[in-house]
Amino acid sequence: MSSVKARLKNYRQLLRFRKPIFNTIDRRLSRAHTIYDLRDIAKKVTPIGPFDYTDGAAEGEIGMNRSRQAFEDIEFQPRILRDVSQVDLSVDLLGRKMHMPVGIAPTGFTRMMNTDGEVAASRIAQNLSIPFALSTMGTTSIEDVAKAAPGGSNWFQLYLWRDRDKSLELIQRAQKAGYEGLILTVDAQVAGQRLRDVRNGLTVPPSLSAKTIVNALPRPAWWLNFLIKEPLVFASLESWNGTVAELMNTIFDPTMTFEDLDWIRKVWDGNLLVKGIQNADDAKRAVKHGADAVWLSNHGGRQLDKAPVPFEMIPAVRKAVGKSTQIHIDTGIMNGADVIAAMAKGANFTWVGRAYLYGLMAGGGRGVSRTFEILESQMVRTLKLLGVQSVSELDPTMVKYLKERMES
């Protein structure tokens, strides 16, 4: 009998029962250990229209998939026998210290994913000491974001309108509200062909077709959240009742040139980022025309399908713009290791859009926090396993493309 009791005691020491989590959102997020986990949760709780707007890309979605695959097709080159008990993720973003080298990229219709939207995201960015970028097509006003995160690093992303006075008004509002940076997006002369949105009949605000109602029935929490909160409207635009593509083709200016960049440089006296750079020559020209930093982006694969992969452009652009100009990138980042790889190759900063929106859909503001908890833990672990103590120690020799490895 004593031996049985002893064995039972040993078994009890091996068993550890998890404490129950009674809050539905917290329980859901506790099961998310990767960004792909957040994506899976988001898909379960969000109707097809908003989810596909976030998850999809243009045409055959080749550009988005190639951008993700580029981060898969690398091999890290770790150093050993280094003291990595403490690591430092902090970086300089055009004169301001950031806690880690990843920020919240500008995204349109954010409150359509979850009504916590830009207010929650900007507050989380402020708490984490990372930048938040508000889109021209955002669903919270320039002023309300500034009120929500008065001490944050707030940036405004501008699509240049056909009506230059409207563009100037937005720039002046951002300046007055204390935004420290302006992001000019230059790769949206016309709307990309986003076939998921076409097939879903996505309009803004979402329309209640028979298809969307049937799809939404198993997702009552999203509809309840959507219906009891403030109506979804564009904060910087007049009301709109059409498709995303129709809106972009109506308002955005396809005649934009480098002369317009000169004009923006004159009317905006803060940091100026040019987003949508897709070759080294244009990066060099953007700097010549007043850009403080260049942002390599194929718009998340949502504009020109089969466009260049930002991660793969870094070495050529670094050579073109020199060491003193900051290079930022987005697209395809689904893991903190992707951020570290980009920094090692020569980027100065990275931005995520889909990754944080998956978190927003999965759990509102708490889901956004979970996104950055996941990314930060992955970045820290990757640095330690690479054998470096800080982001500043990273260099291109620590990341090898698989094709380079096979050729060597």
pLDDT in tens, 122-179: 999 999 999 999 999 899 999 999 999 999 999 999 999 888 899 999 999 999 999 9
Taking the C-alpha atoms of residue 14 and residue 121, their distance in angstroms, rounded to an integer, is 41
Say yes or no to pLDDT of 406 above 80: no
Between CA 335 and CA 377 the distance in angstroms is 10
357 membership: H or E segment, kind and range = helix 354-386
pLDDT surpasses 80 at 392: yes
- Which residue type sits at 45? V
Q: What pLDDT shows up at residue 403?
A: 75
pLDDT score, position 12: 62
Comparing 31-40, 107-116, 203-212, 317-326, the range with the smallest average pLDDT is: 203-212
Q: Give the residue with greater pLDDT, 217 vs 127.
A: 127
- Across 213-217, 249-253, 266-270, the highest mean pLDDT is recorded for 266-270
Return the pLDDT at 218: 72
- The domain spans of the chain are 27-407
**Distance, CA of 151 to CA of 142 (rounded, Å):** 14
Task: Quote the pLDDT of residue 369.
Answer: 98
In the structure encoding, which two tokens stand for residue 386, read together? Answer: 């690479």
* Global pTM value: 0.91
Kindly indicate the confidence band of residue 53, based on its pLDDT and cuts at 50, 70 and 90: very high
φ and ψ of 34, to 5 deg: -140, 170
Instruction: Examine residue 205 and say whether the peptide bond preceding it is cis (omega within 30 degrees of 0).
Output: yes
Q: Has residue 304 got a pLDDT over 80?
A: yes
93 within 8 A of 397, measured Cβ to Cβ: no
Q: How far apart are CA 204 and CA 304, in angstroms?
A: 22
Residue 352 CA to residue 178 CA, distance in Å, equals 23
User: Active site residue: 33, 99, 299, 328, which one?
Assistant: 299
Query: pLDDT tens for residues 101-133?
Result: 999 999 998 998 999 999 999 999 999 999 999
Question: Strand 153-158 to strand 131-135: parallel, antiparallel, or no bridges (unpaired)?
Answer: parallel
Residue with tokens 């129709």: 246
Residue 219 binned pLDDT confidence (cut-offs 50, 70, 90): confident
SS3 45: helix
33 labelled catalytic: no
350 Rama class: left (phi>0) / alpha (psi -120 to 50) / beta: beta
pLDDT band at 187 (very low <50, low <70, confident <90, very high): very high
Q: Which CATH superfamily is domain 27-407 in?
A: Aldolase class I (3.20.20.70)
Would you place residue 192 in the very low, low, confident or very high pLDDT band (cuts 50, 70, 90)? confident
